[in-house]
Structure 1
Amino acid sequence: MTFPDGLQLPGNETGLSWRSITPADLDDWYALTRRIVAEDKPGWAEERADLEHVLSRSSDDPARDTIVGLDPDGVPRAFGGVSVNPDSVRVSGFGGVDPQWRRRGIGTAVFRWQEARAKQRVQDRRGGQPVLRSYAEANNPSAVALLESAGARIVRYFTEMTRPLAGELPEVPLPEGLSFVTFSEELSERFRLAHNEAFQDHWGSEPRDQESWTFTVSHPQFRADWSFAVVEESSGGIAAYQLASFDPESKEILGYTEGYTELLGVLRGWRGMRIAPAMLSEAMRRFRDSGMENAGLGVDTENPSGALKIYEQLGYRPVSRQVVFDKPLAAGSAA
Structure 2
Amino acid sequence: MDPVAEHQQAESPARTHLSQIPGFTWTPFERDDLPEVADFYATVESFDRNPERTSLADLQDFWDSPRSVPEEDTLVARDQSGRVVATAWSGCNRSVTDVREVFLGGAVHPGLRGRGIGRLVLEWELAHGRAWHQTSRQEGFGPLRMRLLAPVDQDDIRDLATRAGLAVARYYFEMERPLTDIPNRDRPEGILITPWDPDLADEAREVRNQAFRDHWGHTDASPQMWADRLAATAFRPEWSLLARDADTLAVVGVAMNCAYEQDWSDDHRQGYTDELGVLRDYRGRGVARALLVESMHLFTSAGMDAAALGVDTENPSGALGLYEGLGYRRRASTCIHELQECAGASRFTRWCPSPARAAHVPGSPATPAR
Task: Look up the match of 1:233.
Answer: 246
2:84 to 62, 67, 76: 76
Larger mean Cα displacement after TM superposition, 6-15 or 279-288: 6-15
Taking the aligned partners of 1:251 and 1:53, their CA distance within structure 2 comes to: 19
Query: Pairwise mapping of residues 165-180 of structure 1 onto structure 2 (< 5 A)?
Result: 165-166=179-180, 168-171=181-184, 173-180=186-193
Taking the aligned partners of 2:107 and 2:341, their CA distance within structure 1 comes to: 21
Find out whether 1:327 has 2:346 as its counterpart.
no
Shift of 1:247: 2.4
Shift of 1:35: 1.6
Query: Residues 128 and 318 (structure 1 numbering): CA distance in 2 closer, same or farther, change over 3 Å?
Result: same
Q: Secondary structure at the match of 2:238?
A: strand
Larger mean Cα displacement after TM superposition, 262-271 or 41-50: 41-50
Identity of aligned residues (%): 29
Task: Look up the match of 1:302.
Answer: 314
Say whether the 8 Å CA contact 1:14–1:106 is kept in structure 2: no
Taking the aligned partners of 1:310 and 1:260, their CA distance within structure 2 comes to: 16
Query: Residues 204 and 259 (structure 1 numbering): CA distance in 2 closer, same or farther, change over 3 Å?
Result: same
Q: Secondary structure at the match of 2:130?
A: helix
Larger mean Cα displacement after TM superposition, 114-123 or 49-58: 49-58
Q: Secondary structure at the match of 1:291?
A: coil
Find out whether 1:101 has 2:112 as its counterpart.
yes
Taking the aligned partners of 2:64 and 2:215, their CA distance within structure 1 comes to: 27
Taking the aligned partners of 2:230 and 2:192, their CA distance within structure 1 comes to: 22
Taking the aligned partners of 2:19 and 2:29, their CA distance within structure 1 comes to: 17
Instruction: Supply the AA of the counterpart residue of 1:113.
Output: W
Taking the aligned partners of 1:156 and 1:162, their CA distance within structure 2 comes to: 20
List alignment gaps of at least 5 residues for structure 2: 349-370
Q: Deviations over 1:92-123 (max 9, x none)?
A: 21111122222221111111101111111222
Say whether the 8 Å CA contact 1:115–1:329 is kept in structure 2: no
1:222 to 231, 235, 240: 235
Task: Look up the match of 1:115.
Answer: 126
Q: Deviations over 1:201-235 (max 9, x none)?
A: 22111111222222222222222121110111221
Shift of 1:38: 2.7
Taking the aligned partners of 1:80 and 1:210, their CA distance within structure 2 comes to: 28
Shift of 1:296: 0.7
Find out whether 1:283 has 2:267 as its counterpart.
no
1:150 to 164, 174, 188: 164
Instruction: Supply the AA of the counterpart residue of 2:148.
Output: S
Say whether the 8 Å CA contact 2:55–2:262 is kept in structure 1: no
Say whether the 8 Å CA contact 1:70–1:76 is kept in structure 2: yes
Task: Look up the match of 2:199.
Answer: 186
Aligned CA-pair RMSD: 2.3
Query: Residues 90 and 102 (structure 1 numbering): CA distance in 2 closer, same or farther, change over 3 Å?
Result: same
Shift of 1:182: 0.6
Task: Look up the match of 2:101.
Answer: 90
Query: Residues 95 and 101 (structure 1 numbering): CA distance in 2 closer, same or farther, change over 3 Å?
Result: same
Q: Secondary structure at the match of 1:69?
A: strand
Taking the aligned partners of 1:27 and 1:42, their CA distance within structure 2 comes to: 19
Question: If the length of structure 2 is used for normalisation, what is the TM-score?
Answer: 0.83
Instruction: Supply the AA of the counterpart residue of 2:288.
Output: A
Find out whether 1:137 has 2:151 as its counterpart.
yes
Shift of 1:324: 0.4
Query: Residues 52 and 248 (structure 1 numbering): CA distance in 2 closer, same or farther, change over 3 Å?
Result: closer
Larger mean Cα displacement after TM superposition, 120-129 or 293-302: 120-129
Task: Look up the match of 1:163.
Answer: 177
Taking the aligned partners of 2:312 and 2:88, their CA distance within structure 1 comes to: 25
Taking the aligned partners of 1:14 and 1:232, their CA distance within structure 2 comes to: 62
Question: If the length of structure 1 is used for normalisation, what is the TM-score?
Answer: 0.91
Instruction: Supply the AA of the counterpart residue of 2:213.
Output: Q
Q: Secondary structure at the match of 1:157?
A: strand
Query: Residues 48 and 211 (structure 1 numbering): CA distance in 2 closer, same or farther, change over 3 Å?
Result: farther
In the alignment of these two chains, the number of paired residues is: 331
2:33 to 25, 32, 43: 25
List alignment gaps of at least 5 residues for structure 1: none
Taking the aligned partners of 1:172 and 1:184, their CA distance within structure 2 comes to: 20
Find out whether 1:40 has 2:40 as its counterpart.
no
Taking the aligned partners of 2:81 and 2:28, their CA distance within structure 1 comes to: 17
Shift of 1:22: 1.9
Q: Which structure has the highest strand share of the two?
A: 1
